[in-house]
Amino acid sequence: MTKARLLRLSVVLVSIFMILLIIVYWDNVGTAHFYLHMSFSRPRSPGAIPGITAGEDWEALPDVDEFLAKLLSSSLRQNNSTPRKTEQLLVQGSNKPVVSNLEEKVRGYDWSTHKDRNSLDQEKLQVERQRTLREFCANSSFTFPTKERSFDDIPNYELNHLIVDDRHGIIYCYVPKVACTNWKRVMIVLSESLLDQGVPYRNPLDIPREHVHNTSTHLTFNKFWRRYGKFSRHLMKIKLKKYTKFLFVRDPFVRLISAFRSKFELENEEFYRRFAIPMLKLYSNHTNLPTSVSEAFGAGLKVSFSDFIQYLLDPRTEKMTPFNEHWRQIYRLCHPCQIDYDFIGKLETLDEDAAYLLQLLKVDRLLRFPPSYRNRTASSWEDNWFAKIPLAWRQQLYKLYEADFVLFGYPKPENLLKD
């Protein structure tokens, strides 16, 4: 009798555990809008996205992963039977937005069309970019910090740049100063994570910039632990296997110039207090600095590009706090040797890459990628910006960002590294 009771009790407890697990997993993952690029939901041909091989996704999954994957599959089949009324075709000729942000006012948008540009052979380009990345990740003679660690070794707080769209099965690693504002806008439209008077945004440029960069707007990998506890890494791995993962990169030195222009040449209260004041004190010997950026700019007190480079090279900088995301190396933001990206876009070919990516994701009828800034920092500016930077500093700076140059196929700037 006792054994029978124990057996019944164990069955009840196991059932309760399974129900709780389903409830936890269902939270914000198995919603009515859950939509994935998966082999069991919407098959894609092996050539649809370079680097993806059909049939290899489910190999060697651990037991827990396999269970969660099956659960994911069953929830998907239920949700695919529900019509997706919210996805509407792109409304042609939408109005240009009212620009309210200082940086967007200063730089403006390039509304000219680019239909006459020579189209790139995008598929070959993607194959080449991915080959370069994988070869150097596998090359034992090429080393840089964190290269050898596994995905499980990456702390949760370092996964905060991976934005997840469960509706379309997309993971985007955003890199500041690489069109990330507009790509975040695209992710908001696709995931419907932000509403305007109860209605999801349809036009990316309608989304105010302050909402775009609000961390609560996006579902990122670093939030998984709070939602799913010890199952968070299993879920991340399943999504990394099944979802389309992309990032956009930029010439590392040009990205630094862009970050400097944005954060120190325009009035930015936060960056003035957090970074400009210490830089002016340490590298320009200023004391008794104004407490507000407007006062400082009025008195002609601005961080120079030389101050900024000294700050980056100063070994004390990262002993106090990690680099800010606007100048942190891309390999530290997106972990390209631990995450196998399906698409690598570049700012230098942004218009072509963005159009091709939206086609691959099959969302090009839902939205357009917003236009580029007119006044975008160009690679041709490098010589002028680095002209007054000592050669030894330029060489040290290259070593600091060498991994980004090499992994993403940017040529070594020999003209800046020699007399």
More confident position, 332 or 55: 332
pTM of the model: 0.78
22-31, 62-71, 405-414: which has the minimum mean pLDDT? 22-31
Q: Calculate the alpha carbon distances from 310 to 283, 304, 389 in Å.
A: 7, 10, 10
Q: Residue 252: pLDDT above 50?
A: yes
More confident position, 349 or 22: 349
Tell me how crowded residue 181 is: count the other CB atoms within 10 A of its CB: 20
Which helix (DSSP H) or strand (DSSP E) does residue 138 occupy? Answer: helix 122-138
Q: Residue 28: pLDDT above 60?
A: no
205 vs 94: CA distance, rounded Å: 10
More confident position, 308 or 92: 308
29-38, 235-244, 381-390: which has the minimum mean pLDDT? 29-38
Domain segments of the chain as ranges:
117-251+325-383
84 vs 33: CA distance, rounded Å: 7
The confidence band for 381, taking pLDDT boundaries of 50, 70 and 90, is confident
The radius of gyration of the chain's CA atoms, rounded to the nearest angstrom, is 24
34 vs 167: CA distance, rounded Å: 4
74-78, 138-142, 210-214, 280-284: which has the minimum mean pLDDT? 74-78
Q: Residue 377: pLDDT above 60?
A: yes
By DSSP bridging, strand 244-249 and strand 343-346 are parallel
pLDDT score, position 117: 43
The neighbouring-strand residues paired with 373 are 109
Q: Calculate the alpha carbon distances from 411 to 130, 350, 351, 407 in Å.
A: 16, 18, 21, 10
Work out the average pLDDT over 50-57. Answer: 38
Q: Residue 301: pLDDT above 60?
A: yes
346 vs 332: CA distance, rounded Å: 17
Strand, coil or helix: 120: coil
- The torsion region of residue 282 among left (phi > 0), alpha (psi -120 to 50) and beta comes to alpha
Work out the average pLDDT over 4-18. Answer: 68
Q: Which of 339, 168, 158, 156 is nearest to 247 (CA)?
A: 339
Tell me how crowded residue 373 is: count the other CB atoms within 10 A of its CB: 18
pLDDT, tens digit (0-9, with 9 covering 90-100), for 123-182: 999 999 999 999 999 999 999 999 999 999 999 999 999 999 999 999 999 999 999 999
Q: Compute the mean pLDDT over every residue in the chain, rounded to the nearest whole number.
A: 82
The confidence band for 333, taking pLDDT boundaries of 50, 70 and 90, is very high
Work out the average pLDDT over 286-315. Answer: 97
Single-letter residue type at 344:
I
